[in-house]
Structure 1
Amino acid sequence: MSLRSRLRAASLLLVGAALASPCAASAATLVRLDDIRPEKVHVAGFALDAERELTIETVGYRFSGGRRRDSSAWILNAQSRETVWTAREGEHSRESRRLTKTTDRVTLPAGRYEVYYSGYPQPWEDLRADSVGEVIRGVFTMSFPDRDDEDYEDASRDFYVQVEGEGRPLSAEALMEGQERLRESALLSFAPLKDGRYEARRLSVDAPVELEIYAIGEMNRNAVYDGSWILDTATRERVWTLDYQHSGSAGGASKNRVFRNTVSLPPGDYALFCATDDTHHFGDWNSAPPRDPFFWGITVNLADPAQARHVTLADYEDLPAKDVVLALTGLRDDDHASGGFTLKRPTRLRVYALGEGDDDELADTSWILDADTRETVWEFRGHRSEHAGGASKNRLVDTVIQLPAGNYIAHAVTDGSHATGDWNASPPFDRQRWGLTVSVTDGDRSAVADYDEGEDPAILAQIVGVGDNARERERFQLDRDGRVRVHALGEGESGRMYDYAWIEDDRGRTVWEMTARGSRHAGGVRKNRECDATVDLKQGEYTVHYRSDGSHSCAGWNADPPRDRWGWGVVVRKAD
């Protein structure tokens, strides 16, 4: 964001920035912010040429019972971004039924400072919920607000903060230029970020370095809504993450969190990410902002500037189109997508999957099958996933797997809620990739080819994706005696099959049948059964049949589905 653009944003957000000037106050007044508007941030700056003692006076809202909110006035050191004074300090006195006055004297060293005043009468944190109970509590808060809120707006006309002492005021332009210099001198900075941003930058490190990270975001104990992280691009492991457990209060709403510390990186290739959701961000806060709103996002410096020669920055494309083998993404509610690929030799692949669920169960999931054996070679597992940003149920798996040469089929499915275009909670950071993406890790796609199961000459007959009350059949022919491989998925328990397959010859005689005893557990509920059999057949014509009852099928599962839910049915293929 250019300085001019940031100043345009300041005209909306920083409505008090232009109020601090020698013409607007007495000679001893460095800053006075008044005409405070609810749910707006007002800021002005001043500079001290030497250590000075200052007098600070502020008037704010006196809430019922004498309680006060820590979202009124504060002062930042403009260089270090440290808070040097807050309205909690000093002596407090009652001005009226709804006003409280704070007076204080503080000594500050030479430097530049920013003075803020912020008023947020109604906290909104309860509306950011991942459970029904939290939503109900939030609605209750909004439906029956504290009586303080009814006259807060009227009282705000008398709010102000005033700083007196020997120094000089700073214009809004000077204040913004100072912040911009800090960002430009940093190793990198994604700040301040507005809504819906997903930023990334590559860091190539050829010697151990120490990074000084200053990151501010929005989160609670269960989920991160605006956050940052650093990823080892070789292992796909996160080496640092801005999360609730490893951060502290950033001031304002309790969901504002800050990390300010040193992180060590060994030699390697890394990617730094910073993402925001659609609410509570720079320029449009839905509750009290942090103490340093202009650095919402992340700013990184080197602890030792001499280490700059060991770090190379570059643009980073997380999943380059040229590397993508298969993309089943942008899935909507009640959606299913599938696709195939062939590997001509053993290949390392990156699997990037987004879905909905928790450690125990996934509502939106994906998996990869060996097309020849129907065995699951990879599946999205909740306990191996990590938080994908947004609601805590947004889950991510970003891993590297090795697959041998062969044919593969991938599937991705969603349930009836929380998917692309219709999120019922905060979406993940990388929302456009909801589903499954498979890519090569080294940029070499020479070992990869498309695979279409419908054109595979090895498949003799296929009945899959079967629904309720099905009576399906398909004929196939063998030109000579040979061996076939039959893979079937069905439903059975207590020694009886309810959804099952069988093969008849041209005289109607059963030459193979799926039985409970000859099957094994197929994942999910125990009644999901799987059979993988090799059958010797004579030359001739055959018919494969599949029958299902009135429940538990691709038309609707009444219990946990099998691993390969869209393989519900039967596939007959040449064994050789």
Structure 2
Amino acid sequence: MIKILKIFLAGFTIPAFILAQGESVKLSRMGVDQVEVVGFTLENDGIVKINGVCAGGDKEYKKVHKTDYQIDPFNLYAYAWILDAHSREMVWRTTISNSSGDWWEKDNREFDENVRLPEGEYELYYAAMEPGSQRGNLSIGRIIDKLFEDDWQEHSRDLKISVSPVDAKLSKSAVRKYQRALKENALINLTRAGDGSYLSRGFSIDENINVEIYAIGEGHDGEMFDYPWLIDANTGRRIWQMKHSRSEHAGGAIKNRSVQKKLTLSPGDYILYYKSDDNHSSEEWNANPPYDPEFWGVTIFAKDKNFDRSAVKEYYEKKREPIVSITRLGDSEYEEEGLIVEKDGSFRVYALGEGSGNKMADYGWITNARNGARVWKMEYYKTNHAGGTSKNREIDEVISLKKGEYIVHFKTDGSHSYEEWNSTKPHKPEMWGITISPIGKEIIAKKTNVRNFKSENLLAELTRVGDDEHIRKQFVLDRETQIRINALGEGDWDEMYDYGWIENERTGRKVWRMRYRNTDHAGGAKKNREIDTIITLEPGTYTVHYISDDSHSYADWNASAPYKENKWGITIFRVVR
């Protein structure tokens, strides 16, 4: 006898069918690369019988290498699992250990076991992913089968699962309706993110709220590729971000990652972001899906039972014009802008460039215009994946600058830029470069032409050096002084051809020399070299020298020019702390 029952889940009503004892909830005849779901309820704690057919290997992976991010550690490509509908936790799944192989049916494995489950509401899933090399489960035998007998579609029809007895079952549409209700009851919901997504949602709160962030994304080898982050909308400060090191395996392929983070949010304005790369998402899985595929993305739930929803309001991001904007840079470019900070304050720096192997190829930095000291640099280890190819890197952070004059720089190498991408472009290609934006209502800085800066701490400047020159300049120090040396020249194979040095006039001794091993690539041709260093000199009179050979110099380059070609030579500043 069947009758209609109303099941109340988190304040949401779902129609379900009461089944006579011994009836079951089933999934069968799975399609290739298909993920199916139904629901069921248990009114009391009890034992259910779970049986069916899954498919995969005959051994679980004992050790998973960092390059094996596509594989399911349980070594199955067609399998079932059960989620607790409220906690979203997996409570059972098929494994090698609870199934047995079928010699006649290739990779099919049968399972039949009794499992104790507490009363509650559950979601039953089955994923049937066609095995492939990129999914880590295409063996030589399977390749031969695929070449001579394309029977994956027919093979998948044997896959099935049955759970019994249950007190009520929910159709796929009813489960989806319940999941939508969960998301609608959340503070913020950015889920079912597809390939190449860049999602955001702003909200304001007027009281302290305890929240839990539930996020699922993609990451491997210490880095996230599909992930969320939360910022303070007024300061740009990143309050929280999903990090690979603080996430857990989310089921399915190793690269599926999840996190549940509890936070207390103070009154204020916030923006939640989620971005994904160009493959493996709820739009289309290229490997085994996570246990909770419909929640791929990020959701924020209020943890307080007496939470007042009227305390949360929609917030629309206020776009502010940056003070300095150096963007849309092409190949082999160098640009700089002056920045005058009128009083101590904080600024938001956003930079988008190219980097790999812990090094940046296209990047920005900020120097003190008075003494040449570098006060900020775009470092690879601080960047995040910016969408598209993994070498697209971005940094978005708040920095403090004291009152003074600064120069904002950005340089690019000879490939992969806004001018022409040699791989997949980032989410925001027009931002390739660097911007400096104000924080708060008060504008405490302005941009200016770098030529307007005259440094009172400049001791010597021998720049724009041509071919076959030997130029020199004397300077005097009345006390022990730290000096900053910035020099550009030509060199290769541990030898310099255009370079500078400093001599003590009293002793005739060289106190510093530009050596190849201490230089970095200065952009353009590899032989363009640069050094930026600080040394301490005793009181006395010194002469700085710069010498060049008969080729490759300012305004007469025989190969690609350096980024700062007008600085070819040597510049010395007094360091002021």
Question: Residues 281 and 431 of structure 1: is their aligned pair in 2 closer, same or farther, counting only changes over 3 Å?
Answer: farther
1:398 equivalenced with 2:400 (yes/no):
no
CA drift of 1:200 comes to 3.2
* Aligned residue identity for 1:396: I
Question: Which residue of the partner structure matches residue 227 of structure 2?
Answer: 227
Which of 95, 98, 101 aligns to 2:110? It is 101
Alignment of 1:229-244 (within 5 A): 229-232=229-232, 238-244=238-244
CA drift of 1:163 comes to 3.0
Question: Residues 108 and 353 of structure 1: is their aligned pair in 2 closer, same or farther, counting only changes over 3 Å?
Answer: same
1:82 equivalenced with 2:71 (yes/no):
no
* Aligned residue identity for 2:128: G
Contact 1:521 1:530 in 2 (8 A): no
Question: Which residue of the partner structure matches residue 375 of structure 1?
Answer: 372
CA distance, structure 1, for counterparts of residue 569 and residue 371 of structure 2: 10
TM-score using structure 2 length: 0.68
Question: Residues 40 and 414 of structure 1: is their aligned pair in 2 closer, same or farther, counting only changes over 3 Å?
Answer: farther
CA drift of 1:254 comes to 0.4
CA distance, structure 2, for counterparts of residue 288 and residue 75 of structure 1: 16
Question: Which residue of the partner structure matches residue 413 of structure 1?
Answer: 411
CA distance, structure 1, for counterparts of residue 134 and residue 554 of structure 2: 42
Question: Residues 530 and 26 of structure 1: is their aligned pair in 2 closer, same or farther, counting only changes over 3 Å?
Answer: closer
SS at match of 1:375: coil
Deviations 1:289-309 (A, max 9, x none): 101100001112122233557
Question: Which residue of the partner structure matches residue 273 of structure 2?
Answer: 273
TM-score using structure 1 length: 0.68
CA drift of 1:552 comes to 8.3
Contact 1:489 1:530 in 2 (8 A): yes
* Aligned residue identity for 1:298: V
Question: Which residue of the partner structure matches residue 34 of structure 1?
Answer: 28
Question: Which residue of the partner structure matches residue 480 of structure 1?
Answer: none
CA drift of 1:224 comes to 0.6
Contact 2:213 2:301 in 1 (8 A): yes
Alignment of 1:419-434 (within 5 A): 419-420=417-418, 432-434=430-432
Contact 2:332 2:413 in 1 (8 A): yes
CA drift of 1:59 comes to 1.3
Contact 2:55 2:77 in 1 (8 A): no
* Aligned residue identity for 2:432: W
SS at match of 1:96: helix
Could you list the runs of 5+ residues in structure 1 that have no partner in the other structure? 1-20, 127-137, 472-486, 501-515, 533-544
Aligned residues: 487
Contact 1:206 1:310 in 2 (8 A): no
Q: Which of 296-305 and 53-62 deviates more?
A: 53-62
Deviations 1:36-63 (A, max 9, x none): 2222212223344555643322212253
Deviations 1:352-376 (A, max 9, x none): 22333369642111123455x4725
CA distance, structure 2, for counterparts of residue 96 and residue 142 of structure 1: 17
CA distance, structure 1, for counterparts of residue 401 and residue 184 of structure 2: 42
Question: Residues 410 and 159 of structure 1: is their aligned pair in 2 closer, same or farther, counting only changes over 3 Å?
Answer: same
Deviations 1:244-275 (A, max 9, x none): 22121111100001112423456666543222
CA drift of 1:103 comes to 1.7
Alignment of 1:81-230 (within 5 A): 81-88=88-95, 90=98, 92=100, 94=102, 96-98=104-106, 99-122=108-131, 146-147=143-144, 152-202=152-202, 209-230=209-230
Question: Residues 404 and 279 of structure 1: is their aligned pair in 2 closer, same or farther, counting only changes over 3 Å?
Answer: same
Q: Which of 381-390 and 171-180 deviates more?
A: 381-390
Contact 1:216 1:298 in 2 (8 A): yes
CA distance, structure 2, for counterparts of residue 117 and residue 223 of structure 1: 29
Question: Which residue of the partner structure matches residue 297 of structure 2?
Answer: 297
CA distance, structure 2, for counterparts of residue 313 and residue 109 of structure 1: 38
* Aligned residue identity for 1:97: E
Between structures 1 and 2, the one with greater helix share: 1
CA drift of 1:188 comes to 1.4
SS at match of 2:76: coil
CA distance, structure 2, for counterparts of residue 291 and residue 402 of structure 1: 46
Contact 1:222 1:392 in 2 (8 A): no
Contact 1:200 1:316 in 2 (8 A): no
Contact 1:332 1:419 in 2 (8 A): yes
CA drift of 1:387 comes to 3.0
Question: Residues 244 and 467 of structure 1: is their aligned pair in 2 closer, same or farther, counting only changes over 3 Å?
Answer: farther
* Aligned residue identity for 1:182: L
CA drift of 1:179 comes to 0.5
SS at match of 1:324: coil
CA drift of 1:518 comes to 9.2
CA distance, structure 2, for counterparts of residue 264 and residue 453 of structure 1: 44
Alignment of 1:29-68 (within 5 A): 30-49=24-43, 53-63=47-57, 68=75
Could you list the runs of 5+ residues in structure 2 that have no partner in the other structure? 1-15, 61-73, 456-460, 470-484, 501-509, 522-528, 535-545, 572-577
Q: Which of 241-250 and 83-92 deviates more?
A: 83-92
